[in-house]
Amino acid sequence: MSNHNQEAPTFLNQYLNGEVLAEEIDDFIDVWHEDPHAQEIYEFLGMTEEEYSLWLRDPDMLPHIARARREGLPLAVVVRTSLESLPIAARAADAAKVRRLIKWLESTGKLD
C-alpha cells in the first residue's frame, strides 16, 4: 500500500465490492499505524469523517454505511430508518446501542 503511483483500494471500496469482511478493517488500521502521517485514518479507510465517527461509536453500523453509499442516501437517514425499524423488544435489548446511535444523530444535528 506504500506505492503512491498505484494506490491500493480502500477498505470501504473493497467492502462494498465484497472483497473483504467487516472484521478485516483491523488489518487496514494496522497498516495505517505503520505510516499514520500519510493521511487521516478515515481517508485511508475510504470513509468520510461522518462515516468514521459513526463506525467508531458502533462498528456494527458498517453495513448501514455501505447501504448509504450504495443507495446514495444520507447516512443519518439510513441510521434513523434503521432505528425506527427495530422492534420495541430489540430496542430494549440493545438499549445502549440505540442510545449511542441517537447520540450520534444528535451530534450531527440530524435528530428532530
Contacting residues for 99 by C-beta, under 8 A, at least 6 apart: none
For the question of whether the overall pTM of this predicted structure is more than 0.85, the answer is no
Question: pLDDT digits over 69-94, tens only?
Answer: 999 998 888 888 877 776 665 555 56
Query: What is the SS3 assignment for 3?
Result: coil
Residue 3 pLDDT level (bands cut at 50, 70, 90): very low
Cell of 94: 440493545
Question: Alpha-carbon distance 102 to 79, whole Å?
Answer: 9
Average pLDDT over residues 93-100: 65
